[in-house]
Amino acid sequence: MEKKILDVFLILAVLLMLSLVSCESLQFGRETGAEVVTPTVLPFRVKSEDLYEPTEEIVVCDVALTIVNVECTHNEREGQDLLVLTVNLENRSAKEVPINSFDFYIVDSDNNVSSLASVQVENPLRNPKLDPGESVSGMLPYRVAAGDKGVKLNWQPGWCTGQAIVNVW
């Protein structure tokens, strides 16, 4: 009986060591100098029916999105631009819908995905629940490569399967 217990213990110990060795070799990003750049997990494919111009009113899952304003300021020290989009969302459905600022992200010309920047803006888009007929406006700040004019805003509401991709410029 003791031999069986010892054999099971040895097998478990070997399996544990093998799993630890294999975990060390996993890389979840690629190293570029001192920083690790993690790849995006979102596949980004643009269908022509999902691509809009910034002047268009976009309706996804009975919620209308309008880009009200686009501001871009260059940060010389960081070599990036701060892009601040002011958006308006109006619930045209017959039910309450949750608005989440994290349902929006930016895709640049190289298909790099950026989520909201951690900067303070005058009127950030909050995460309210909109009753039918209600609307909300707010600002969405992003850091993008300096001078990139191929930036697109992607909106994928969490409560439905629709999406909209908007050329920012």
pLDDT of 4: 76
Model confidence at 79: pLDDT above 70: yes
Task: Look at residue 140 in the predicted model and tell me its pLDDT.
Answer: 97
With DSSP H G I counted as helix, E B as strand and the rest as coil, what are the percentages for the chain, rounded to 5? 15, 40, 45
> For residue 12, which phi and psi values (nearest 5 degrees)?
-65, -40
Indicate the CATH number of 48-167 among 2.60.40.1240, 3.30.300.30, 3.40.50.720, 3.40.920.10: 2.60.40.1240
Q: Is 90 exceeded by the pLDDT of residue 38?
A: no
The pLDDT value given to residue 100? 93
Confidence at 34, pLDDT banded by 50, 70, 90:
very low
DSSP for 61-107 reads TTEEEEEEEEEEEEETTTTEEEEEEEEEEEE-SSS-EE--GGGEEEE
To the question of pTM greater than 0.75 for the whole model, the response is no
Residues 135-154: b if buried by 16+ CB within 10 A, e if exposed? ebebbbbbbbeeebeebbbb
pLDDT at 17: 62
Residue 16's pLDDT band (cuts 50, 70, 90): low
Residue 35 has pLDDT above 60, yes or no: no
What span, in angstroms and rounded, lies between the C-alpha atoms of 42 and 54?
23
